[in-house]
Amino acid sequence: MDRPQAILFDIDGLLITTGGAGARSWRWAFNELYGIPADIGKFTDAGMTDPVVGRLTFTSAIGHEPSPVELATVISHYLMRLPEEVASSSGYTVLEGVEALLPRLCKAGFPLGITTGAVEAAAHIKLARANLNRFFTFGGYGSDSADRGELTRKAIDRAGEILGSALDRQRVLVLGDTPKDIAAAHAAGAIGVGVASGHYSKDELVEAGADYVLGSLVEDLPGVADEFSGAAPSKGQMTTGQEEMA
Ligand SMILES: [Mg+2]
């Protein structure tokens, strides 16, 4: 494919895994508010947005749909707890290839964004421990919409606002580790790239309709390999002085 105009990354299961810090924060919130150790296990790692996770868990644990105030209270308790759960999580991991790929893409001029079901503050808290926020210029979050396709559309619109003209959605890569990421990419008119770094295999991501499938972020992204190989020789020809300026 042609050079992508922007590349969007999911967080959990693609860039990092928090080692259950999100689930523990939800559990803490329900326990703090209602004295109920809510089971949010069935709603994690599936690519659901935080508003949906909060609503479904509330309904299942408390027995009725949350009012707007109840939902806001649960989400804010989750958020208040999240920094310490992320900081103390022994299972927090940056996934394979991420720390090499992101600076490389930035240096090659690809605008990078976040598409995540996490509310915006949660996304930044999760990325901060690995110092990854600095690579992302824009994003779409669970706080923009409970619908993943809609928040992905918003992320792409924001990239267009930053860059000065609307993007060609068919030249935007949306990377994610779940079938929901792929569905969201397509709902937004973008290219869905499944990465089998979470709980879904390459076969399952192909079955979900992924346009491209990778085993991990060590592998080349569609449309970017030529950019990298094209950039390397020109840098090799630079003198030391030019390289310092570059
Ligand atoms: Mg994910």
| Cα 178 to ligand 1 centre (Å) | 6
Which tops the pLDDT comparison, 125 or 241?
A: 125
Q: How far is CA 145 from the centre of its chain?
A: 14
Residue-by-residue DSSP string for 2-28: PPPSEEEE--BTTTEE-SSHHHHHHHH
| Cα 45 to ligand 1 centre (Å) | 6
Band of residue 246 on the pLDDT scale cut at 50, 70, 90: very low
| Cα 7 to ligand 1 centre (Å) | 15
Sorted by where each begins, the domain ranges of the chain are 6-18+93-245, 21-88
Helices (H), 129-178: 148-163
| Cα 46 to ligand 1 centre (Å) | 7
What integer is the mean pLDDT of 132-161? 96
Which among 8, 12, 6, 224 has a CA at the least distance from the CA of 130? Answer: 12
Residue pair 151/140 in contact by the 8 Å Cβ criterion: yes
Same fold: 6-18+93-245 with 21-88: no
Instruction: Tell me how far apart the alpha carbons of residues 102 and 106 are, in angstroms, rounded to a whole number.
Output: 6
pLDDT for 183 beyond 60:
yes
Architecture of domain 21-88: Orthogonal Bundle (1.10)
Containing H/E element for 55? helix 50-62
Which tops the pLDDT comparison, 115 or 241?
A: 115
Going by CATH, does the domain composed of 6-18+93-245 fall within 3.40.50.1000? yes
Band of residue 133 on the pLDDT scale cut at 50, 70, 90: very high
What is the 8-class DSSP label of residue 38?
Answer: -
pLDDT tens digits for 76-127? 999 999 999 999 999 999 999 999 999 999 999 999 999 999 999 999 999 9
| Cα 12 to ligand 1 centre (Å) | 4
Instruction: Tell me how far apart the alpha carbons of residues 175 and 169 are, in angstroms, rounded to a whole number.
Output: 14
Band of residue 42 on the pLDDT scale cut at 50, 70, 90: low
| Cα 199 to ligand 1 centre (Å) | 9
pLDDT of residue 139: 98
Which among 164, 217, 232 has a CA at the least distance from the CA of 10? Answer: 217
What integer is the mean pLDDT of 48-59? 89
Instruction: Tell me how far apart the alpha carbons of residues 66 and 173 are, in angstroms, rounded to a whole number.
Output: 35
Instruction: Tell me how far apart the alpha carbons of residues 176 and 186 are, in angstroms, rounded to a whole number.
Output: 12
Which tops the pLDDT comparison, 51 or 135?
A: 135
Q: Kindly state the tokens that stand for 186.
A: 């397509």
pLDDT of residue 45: 54
pLDDT of residue 37: 80
Share the mean pLDDT of the chain. 90
Q: Would strands 16-17 and 93-94 be described as parallel, antiparallel, or unpaired?
A: antiparallel
Residue pair 212/193 in contact by the 8 Å Cβ criterion: yes
| Cα 109 to ligand 1 centre (Å) | 25
| Cα 66 to ligand 1 centre (Å) | 25
pLDDT for 235 beyond 70:
no
Percent of the chain surpassing pLDDT 70: 89
| Cα 29 to ligand 1 centre (Å) | 22
